[in-house]
Chain A
Amino acid sequence: MTQSSLGTNLFVVWNEVKKNIKFLLAYPIVFVFWGIFPIFWFIPFILQGEALVGGLSSQAFAQIAGTPDFVPFVVIGSVLNSYVLSSLYGMGESIRREAYQGTLDYVLASPCNKAYILIGKAVSESLTSTIFAVSQLAISILFFGIELTVGVIAPILFILILLVLGLYGIALMLAALSLRFKQAHDLAHTLEYVFYLFSPVRYPVESLPFWAQLLGKLLPLTYALIAVRALLLLKQGLSAVYVEILVLLVLDVALILVGFYMFNWMENKTKKSGMISQY
């Protein structure tokens, strides 16, 4: 059997998703934790804002952010940032877990196309991230003044899918590097810092110096955040953010292509050197 049908490949994806979800469900406390806990990370920012401004809205902030309400601004940044974290760490961690458990050799020796295994890992990470994000968003709507109308749900989901696709590409590159370099998680951490600092997670990109703004504009999270905030906070329609969506699409294609190419190349290289699963 040298050729796999689409059905077989999708079956691989499905089983990978099932396995990872079962693994996560074996730790129910973890499951509940990540649906609630990340809220604690943005509370200090809200309190900081209150202390500096003396209230919950700032005109100086409005001049660059388009809205004086910094609380929902920060909350949205935090929820979307959690996708970044799960993409950067989830797939790489999944591979490291396979290596630690000793199953990586067998996975890689199997005849199926490894890209579908990675897709399976990415899909399961995205599923769980979405569940966690929905949970966090629900709490934020209840307690932090986010207003969600039915009409924006579909466009927001569309933007999130675009964001996740771009992050998949980056995750693939990291997964490729983690096959060869056992310290690839350091690179994941560094990318996390770059996203956190240069994307408008906590503040508008215009707060940064010009050179930093340019760097921010290379990141898919920047466009996703601008688009989601435009829909949720500024009450704008999808047409107002078509530029951001277009750029996201272009970034997605580029990142995914590079990611797949890098993974296949690195897999072949490490198989030849025999260093593939030295944990």
Chain B
Amino acid sequence: MSTPTDDQDVYSIETSGLTKVFAKKRHRGILGFLRRETEKEKSKNEKTDALTLALDHVNLKVRAGELFGLLGPNGAGKTTLVKCLATILIPDEGTAAVNGYDVMKETTMVRASIGLVVGGERTLYWKLTARDNLMYFASLYKMPRAEAKKRVNEILEIMNLRDRADERLEDYSTGMRQKVAIARALLHNPPVLLLDEPTLGLDPTFSRQIRSQIRDLCRNQGKTILLATHYMYEADELCDRVAIINNGQIAAVDSPNRLKAMVREKELVEITCVNPPLGIEAELRALCPKVEIVMLVQGDEATARPARIKMMGEEAEESVGTVIDALRKKRVQITSLNVGMPTLEDVFIKLTGGAKLTEGTENEKERHEAE
């Protein structure tokens, strides 16, 4: 691990060569063990039996007081990394430190230093009130009773939950439950917050509130925040620096603007069309070999959602005509054509060799733009 040389190089989170491997489980059913495997099945099973490299020698440094984004699609390794830092998961190789404490040797101090917020509804006791939930977790954070009571009231006030603090969580909306989850993470005033998709499944109003709170916690309260998300715009909007992660590896780390500058010299064209035939992406790539062509969103006739095709490269604008002709020959209706500024999405595609985003990201972007 590095030795800090000046005041700016103080790291709240540091990992070095962090690696985590999971063994895949193959299900063959109750009588599967009686069957002999054929050669074909054996070689197929060898692949599926392979280990999953969830984190591949990850090196990361997050400065104290920084809002650091961890951006990647589902299955990239974000949650695995967060869990390793939160001491829930033991890495197989490498080291990590949070707030100066080793995650494997000083687990109690690491746990006292962090607050964790994950997306999803079931992380609290629904049959208890918000106040009961918070008082309980305050005791698990070893807060003396009087201090816990005072702090719980404070937190409920900050999160605008005071009026409904004595109602059961089962009567809360999803967004309110997530607020309680954030309140819990802040109870013991930890210097480091680990947020794993905190706005997952929330409507735009609550998502915006939560993002605003995240910003406030970092800027005004000086907390170090590691935000794992697959929402590009969220990372773009909030983070001081972003690490792009895919297949367990960090592809790049820098500020959002500098990351976007990596593709600024390239041309970007986006075509929106209705019902392109399957396999069109491969055909277009064959027609324009010097251009990166990615079908970002497949499109859905039933919901009238158009497909989006992105073209990147130095000859992207030049190749637009070829692509449009090819689409028209297939009787594809083109609804719009844009030459755009790069986004983190473009950076991601460039760095990961054209790996697709989830369609959920596209819907979230539309909702975010509508806010």
Contacts and interface: CB of A to CB of B under 8 A. Distances in A.
| Any A–B CB pair closer than 8 Å | yes
Interface of A: 25-26, 28, 31
Interface of B: 27, 29-30
Contacts of A28: 30
6 contacts: A25-B29, A25-B30, A26-B29, A26-B30, A28-B30, A31-B30
Nearest to A32: B30
Contacts of B29: 25-26
B125 to A, nearest CB: 15
A25 B33 CA distance: 13
A26 B25 CA distance: 13
Nearest to A27: B30
Nearest to B27: A26
B342 to A, nearest CB: 39
Contacts of B30: 25-26, 28, 31
Nearest to B29: A25
B186 to A, nearest CB: 29
A31 B30 CA distance: 10
A274 B27 CA distance: 38
A112 to B, nearest CB: 24
Contacts of A25: 29-30
Closest 4 CB pairs of A and B: A28-B30, A25-B30, A25-B29, A31-B30
Nearest to A278: B170
A25 B29 CA distance: 7
A25 B27 CA distance: 11
Nearest to B32: A28
A112 B369 CA distance: 42
A241 B29 CA distance: 44
A28 B29 CA distance: 8
A28 B27 CA distance: 12
A28 B34 CA distance: 13
A83 to B, nearest CB: 23
A72 B27 CA distance: 41
A219 B29 CA distance: 39
A181 to B, nearest CB: 15
A26 B28 CA distance: 9
